[in-house]
Structure 1
Amino acid sequence: MMETSVIVEKVDDFLIEEFEVEADEIAPEANLKETLDLDSLDYVDLVVAIEATFGVKLVGDDFVGVESFQDFYDLIERKVNI
């Protein structure tokens, strides 16, 4: 079972690198799409990065209800710790 803090750290690290976002812009309550300025192609990149980093598959339906970074962390945690 992967610890929440490890998941958050890994997610933040690749978001900073892949999406060139400043670390101080990433906050649990911040809006994921707006903060990262995501379009549909960016979501593909995000899914590929998650799969490469955590070895889990994400599909479009997984993102339903994912608004904040905390929602995103929770999604990854659920997938990783199945």
Structure 2
Amino acid sequence: MNREEITSHITRVMCELFGLQQDAITMDARLYEDLDIDSIDAVDLVVEMKRITGKKINPEDFKAVRTVGDVVDAVEGLFGH
């Protein structure tokens, strides 16, 4: 997956899982403050990231994620880009 495909997939997943509007999901959107994603939602997102990458994700690594762009960066890192 390239960065554009990762971004598209994460946007779609966030719309489906959290009922968000697609235009609200920007690279600078903050997960907790702007998108109202709580810690339980974050776990669901980590599970989905694991599913699409096929790799084990350390929850500690996810604690530094604050924006949608950070999520894309984390997934891209799992793919070794």
- TM-score > 0.5 by shorter chain: yes
Aligned to 1:80: 79
| Structure with more helix by fraction | 1
User: What is the Cα deviation at residue 35 of structure 1?
Assistant: 3.1
CA distance in 1, matches of 2:54, 2:34: 25
Question: In 1, are the aligned partners of 2:3 and 2:76 still within 8 Å (CA)?
Answer: yes
Q: State the distance in 2 between where 1:21 and 1:49 align.
A: 16
- TM norm structure 2: 0.85
1:9 alignment counterpart:
8
Find the counterpart in structure 1 of residue 51 from structure 2. 52
Aligned length: 81
What is aligned with 1:25? 24
Partner secondary structure for residue 33 of structure 2: helix
CA-based RMSD: 1.6
Sequence identity (%): 33
Alignment of 1:34-49 (within 5 A): 34-49=33-48
Unaligned residue ranges in structure 1 (runs of 5+): none
Which deviations, in whole Å up to 9, do the C-alpha atoms of 1:50-81 show, x marking residues without a partner? 12222122222112321111111101100122
Over 3 Å counting, the alpha-carbon distance change for 1:57 and 1:36 in structure 2 is: farther
Residues 29 and 35 in structure 2, CA contact (< 8 A), matched pair in contact too: no
